[in-house]
Structure 1
């Protein structure tokens, strides 16, 4: 009897241990499934928030999730949306075109960011918009691991962000130099016709305009993003043609680098 007792106790204990381990594995598996389901539901909620233009809600959700490529891509869209970027508006506007064919290469972006035909934007808003664009660009590049790692769509988005950022930087430069003399004061128009009118009424030309080295460096970075988007869009694409026109207007030397003189000449040539 004693020997029987000694053999059954370990067997019972072993069975209990097996049951406990099985329960723990089940609980762990359920927990993993719950985590995955929760991640997917939150990501979907963030996408809906972006579609509804509730960008603050989307950013709040996405910054709290694991920063996967998909999360980062959607986060970049949310930041850009909060800055005023509407990619659908850009594509539809380029495809439709303006009625008289006189739109400049930045006008569609300027009207998207500002209001009315002149694309009026308060000078006081530009700094925060630029900060949001920097966050959008950073998140987008991180989603691909690098600029080179971005998908075709990612490179197109980066080009859109680059030209948007450039238009805001041009507005910042004009505001700092002449903002108090604009009509209305403290507002800048982000279209070529508005810049030409302001130039003719206020300065005559922009030869003495102050442009910081940081602004020039950022514009060079942005122009590089636009340049990379052209082959991604493919031959004959309307947006690609707009990008190409912008590059030819701002990089007159064709060497891939924008100098102070080229940028000043670009500002002086807008609307002509």
Structure 2
């Protein structure tokens, strides 16, 4: 495929390319694959082109692929659980969403993914509410609690069923099973999966549509050290390819390893947001900053 000339280097990892049939984005990608029985993740490098015929430049792309939460408020059982929550997650960056249990992280993500409604405010993915996205799996992949699979379904059957709901080919099921290291468990029923395997199946589901946006709630929960390392590499690689990655976590050390930007929420309010270094500030670690910002007792047993 001929590429005639390079136009501009974007603000994210990637280059806008002038092509006869329209604009595209070229990336040197490293595909991280966790293979069953291996001692660690393996990598395969390749140059890929993401077609973007509607992209007019890097700033348009940044706007189109952002997550935007604007003044979202939510009341449940007469208790306000979210207070004017406002933040953005940008392409080419991993944005960490950090807060104590019950701070409002999952409630915010549920509103973003159309699973709940706010009393006020907007939550947009690529400029649109989740419910108005065409074939949403091709725009955003999400991982919340569990894998979403029926206990009696095999991993492959579950993925094929979800793929069909978005007009995706059956072949995507085996492709994403390989990516997350579950090829050898394709015929195993979801009810027999360990917690870590369920998380990987949930991630495989999120990846079916090769989405530009990833929204992940506690993605390393239940993973062993090899799985955590694989997830860290995968998320960094996804951002390097220009994807928008938003993940919530309470594991501050792990988040500090991969996040470019951090949002801290406490008692339903965003208390600080910005680049990792800015949020950490004068504190020695992100964990120290977190306890200072949220007034959480560091030595509390639970």
Q: Higher relative contact order at CA 8 Å, sep ≥6: structure 1 or structure 2?
A: 2
When normalised by structure 2's length, the TM-score is 0.24
Larger Rg: 1
Determine which structure has the larger strand proportion and give its number. Answer: 2
When normalised by structure 1's length, the TM-score is 0.26
Determine which structure has the larger helix proportion and give its number. Answer: 1
